[in-house]
Amino acid sequence: MAGEAQSAGEYIKHHLQNLTFGKYGDGHELAGQWGFAHNAQEAKEMGFWAIHVDTMFWSIVLGVLFLYLFRRVAKSATQDVPGGTQNFVEWIVEFVDGTVKGAFSGRNAMVAPMALTIFIWVFLINFMDLIPVDWLPQLAMLIGHNVFGADPHHVYFKVVSSTDPNATFGMALSVFALMIFYSFKIKGPIGFASELTMHPFSSDNKIIQLIFLPINFILEFVGLLAKPLSLSLRLYGNMFAGEMIFILIALMYSGGLVLGVFGGVLQMGWAIFHVLIITLQAYIFMVLTIVYMDMAYQTGDH
């Protein structure tokens, strides 16, 4: 619930702050040393090399959970009457495989496993948004205070990694790097350069075409950079908005019995609707990844 010693604004800021580890800034009494930030200003002063420990923790844990569950099902798979878990996993694999076949025209054995990994991993990360917003942060505050002696108000613990733009940008940039790599591999440097300079405007007149080259490059380069931006910001924006609504609903529990009951109804309704959102966002991220990989395989003949 909303902390008794915190105002509504402090409660919201606390839930939106990452557990940040980095080097303290010059103005800090521990300047030059590494440690955890105690507030948003300290986290900001830690700069680019600071690590969001909670984002890394949940991303790795959920990634390992996905690998463990699917590996366990694969090792115990049988041709006899399958159990419910095997049926569910096979359905997901067939669904992703069908999506890849429908959206990817090239031949690359890596695309389908990558699409499956992205879909399940992003879904599990998003699914953490359905856990009540206070449960895990309050547990982290208790552990931080009782075990490490930290001020509980300075113990931050964001649970939904996709509400951290560092995580969504990291995934999007990884997809972007693969797209660039295969664009060079399939089209070659000259073919890729032609794709960026010969479209959308072209002319049989060589002089006019030379005039079009910088215009085409600017337009195509902006469109190229927009791909990782849109991929990351779409996921981040939707999940951040959903998390913010859950936080605002949680504030209602401290407003008395009537407001608390109303908040409970709202939370249940939003959670049910949010199941669709978290699944849809994972699916969109996967589909766009497949489409971008397909674009890397498209040559001038397409």
Alpha helices by DSSP H, 104-134: 111-127
CA–CA separation, 13 and 113 (whole Å): 38
CA–CA separation, 52 and 16 (whole Å): 12
- Our answer to whether residue 234 is catalytic in this structure is yes
In terms of Cα–Cα distance, which of 217, 105, 236 is closest to 162? 236
How far CA 149 is from CA of 2, 55, 141, in Å, comes to 22, 23, 10
Six-digit token string for 87: 């049926």
- Choose, from 7, 230, 232, 254, the residue flagged as catalytic: 230
Give me Rg for the CA atoms of the chain. Answer: 24
- Choose, from 39, 108, 234, 254, the residue flagged as catalytic: 234
In terms of Cα–Cα distance, which of 60, 263, 296 is closest to 180? 296
Maximum C-alpha span of the chain? 76
Q: Which amino acid, one-letter code, is at 169?
A: F
- Our answer to whether residue 238 is catalytic in this structure is yes
- SS3 state at 36: strand
Q: In what order do the strands lie in the sheet with 20-23?
A: 34-36, 20-23, 51-52
CA–CA separation, 174 and 34 (whole Å): 28
User: Among all residues, which ones are annotated catalytic?
Assistant: 230, 234, 238
